Chains A and B, each alone.
Chain A
Amino acid sequence: MLRRTVAAASIALATLAGSAARADEILVGAHMPLTGSLARSGQAFDEGMRVAIQMFNARSDKHKIRLQVIDDESTPAKAVSAVEKLVSDGAVAVVGGYGSNIIGPASDASNRLKTTYITAGAVSDELTVRGLKTFFRINNNAGYQRGIGTLLEALKPTSVSILASTKEAPALLAKGLQKDLSAKGVKVTVHEFDPAITDFKPIINKVKLQDRSDILMMSAYENDYVGIIRAAKVLKPPVKLVVGAWSLATPKMSAEFPDLMNNVVGTSFLPYPVEMKDEEGKRFAEVYKTTYNKEIEYLSTLSFVETTILAEAIARAAEAGTLKAGGLPDAMRQTDRETLLGPVQFDATGDNPRFAVAMGQHRAGKVVLVSPPASATGEIVYPGLPW
């Protein structure tokens, strides 16, 4: 009996001691599309997020963050379930995955559970008009539109053909660009295409024979870019520049499709080879390279920034003793710092009104930032085509 009591007491003490040792460990949840149609994006996001947590834990003595990631399989329903599971496991905040159609319901669920939710993977304008008090994001359609629009205006084209996927974010970006450029007297023709399309020649032929535009703009994703540029290489429309949106001006695209990328322009945050100006950036590049043995991915930079901002806000709330009393959203709103993506602040809707992208041009395996002038690391080659 005595032996049993001692054993029970030992277990209880060990449990208590363990709890004390983990007292400063804070659980953060994340749902990422690690499989399914968005797996490529999800994996890149996952990498940046893990590096951010690793770096935060290395520099924080008081608070350590433990990350729990659930694969949402690129589906909204699974993302909602993931949020519910993460919050029930004790996550104080959730890092969202990718795609406005997934982030929407997942952040709704998070708000219902009074848990802070941050994303860098959804740019739809509709997400910030819902009045959610726990929703935050660091990038938005307006920032991408501004970045691309600034470049296009500087080039002064008379006409632009936009090939836009019918997925929400690319369609939204295309509409915004069409509106802005048309208002400035540029003739804009939008060709929307279904994401399932594999042969772009009939569309490119319309650009070649009907539009005869100066710029071929692609508002789409990686697979589409490859298909579009390939079709353009075959038909050679009389454009002067091929421009794209996200995940295009990246070292990965340059390495995997060297014959298609030269002179192509896309949104970017960093030149390649990576040149980090501040200590945080240099450390990120170093840890990322050590961990994954490759250059920083475009989407990994986004998730690194969002996770770092969240971790810092968690530390602020924990310091103030408000973390468990619902003080994290207020701590998030105190964010005002320079990041690898530029300045980040959150307005009343949780959006980052200061988000803006630069534009990078592929040049023989390198990515040169060509716009805006303040971020440029080189002059744009214009006219410049991949063929």
Chain B
Amino acid sequence: MTDLVLQALFSGLLVGSVYALVALGLALSFGAMRIINLAHGELVLLAAYCAYVVEGRLGLDPYLAIPLALLVVSAVCAVLFLMIDRIREHRELNSLILTFGVGIILTNAILLIFASDARTTASATLQDATSVGPVYAMNGEVVAFGVSLALMVALWWWLKTSWYGRAVRAVSSNRAAAKLMGISPVRTELVSFLVAGALASFAGVALYTMSVVQPALGHALTVKAFIVTVLAGVGSIPGVFLAAILLGVTEALTVTLASSALQELAGMVLFLLVLFLLPNGLFGARARRG
């Protein structure tokens, strides 16, 4: 039983790190612009398909797809931002509808171009097992964990120390006051959207190297990212990482100790419990109290 639980904890940690990677971008655009980008999962998926093109069609290492993914996803993000920026009334609500629609368009574009087949890395190195004591993982999962951790730290550092990072936080706190301080909210929001796109690019490539991708996956990724963002609470980057790990571990333990059929249910119960007990999220509330 100990080995089972240890493997569940380890698997949960690794899966959680990918949830975090997917959620970081959504959390950033939600925190900075108060916009829930319902096309975020599809942006991640777009990056995953860039990795497929680079590996499956060009025969190169899938990690070499990162520049291509950055380029493609950033371009889509910029167009998406320009559309959102044209919304004049009820921005939160209308942007929901807009991004939902863009998500559908992206899913179907991917379907048209790549067909509906499941895709995953063919790299033997990434699929090989690595063990830490009695627990096992794929090399691709370990790399994704490292990337997730590094990006979380980088994003936290960027928000805390860089001019644009501080501008994003200022716009997020009070758009009008930030404008009075000489910050361009539009430019700042564009930057935050592009950074979210960059995070989605890394997430997509990582996802391709450790899991199976197919066109219908985007929506599920958005839902997972949204759950993590709400669990974490707005404005807490380390909170996103910890909330994602908590979700991953909860799901893995549910599979091990109860039934795998209850995995998704367990995640949703956790989500609802946190919403009920801590409406500002696990870490958003704590930050406010602090």
Contact = CB atoms under 8 A, between A and B. Distances in A.
A212 interface: no
A58 interface: no
Interface stretch (B68-76, B91-99, B176-184, B251-259): B251-259
Contact of B120 (A196, A206, A226, A233): A226
B61 interface: no
Interface in B107-157: 107-108, 111, 115-120, 122, 124, 127, 129, 136-138
Interface of B: 3-4, 7-8, 11, 14-15, 107-108, 111, 115-120, 122, 124, 127, 129, 136-138, 211-212, 214-216, 220, 252, 255-256, 259-265
A67 interface: no
B260 A210 contact: no
B116 A205 contact: no
Contact of A234 (B108, B129, B216, B220): B129
Interface in A32-69: 35-37, 39-40, 42-43
Nearest to B124: A259
Given A39-B111, A193-B263, A206-B256, A233 B212 contact: no
A192 interface: yes
A209 B263 contact: no
B212 A209 contact: no
Interface of A: 35-37, 39-40, 42-43, 74, 166, 191-194, 196-199, 201-203, 205-206, 209-210, 222-223, 226-227, 230, 233-236, 252, 256-259
A194 B255 CA distance: 10
B111 to A, nearest CB: 6
A167 B116 CA distance: 19
17 contacts: A35-B107, A42-B116, A193-B261, A197-B255, A198-B211, A202-B252, A205-B7, A205-B8, A210-B4, A226-B212, A227-B211, A230-B120, A233-B127, A234-B138, A252-B117, A258-B122, A259-B122
Give 5 nearest A-B pairs by CB, closest first. Answer: A39-B116, A40-B116, A193-B260, A192-B261, A202-B255
B252 to A, nearest CB: 5
B212 A223 contact: yes
Contacts of B115: 39-40, 43
Contacts of B212: 198, 223, 226-227
Given A35-B108, A209-B3, A209-B4, A202 B260 contact: yes
Contacts of B220: 196
A43 B4 contact: no
A226 B217 CA distance: 15
B244 to A, nearest CB: 13
Nearest to A205: B7
A236 B211 CA distance: 18
Contact of B260 (A39, A197, A209, A234): A197
A233 B129 contact: yes
Contacts of A191: 259-260
Contact of B7 (A43, A197, A202): A202
Contact of A192 (B119, B127, B216, B260): B260
Given A205-B4, A206-B256, A197 B263 contact: yes
A234 B122 CA distance: 15
A199 B124 contact: no
B111 A199 contact: no
Contacts of B264: 194, 196-197
A170 to B, nearest CB: 12
A35 B116 CA distance: 8
Contacts of B118: 40, 222-223, 226, 256
A202 B214 contact: no
Which of B108, B118, B120, B259 has the most chain A CB atoms closer than 10 A to its own CB?
Answer: B118
B165 to A, nearest CB: 32
A199 B252 contact: yes
Contacts of A36: 216
Nearest to A40: B116
Given A201-B11, A202-B11, A194 B127 contact: no
Contacts of B124: 259
A221 B252 CA distance: 21
A40 B116 CA distance: 5
A201 B136 contact: yes
Nearest to A42: B116
Given A227-B211, A259-B124, A199 B15 contact: yes
A230 B122 CA distance: 11
Contacts of A203: 255, 260
B11 A199 contact: yes
Nearest to A234: B129
Given A209-B3, A233-B127, A259-B122, A202 B259 contact: no
Contacts of A252: 117
Contacts of A198: 15, 211-212
Contacts of A74: 216
Contacts of A199: 11, 14-15, 211, 252
Contacts of A223: 118, 212, 214
Contact of A202 (B108, B111, B119, B256): B256
B104 to A, nearest CB: 9
A165 to B, nearest CB: 9
Given A193-B263, A206-B4, A209-B4, A43 B136 contact: no
B136 A235 contact: yes
Contacts of B255: 193, 197, 202-203
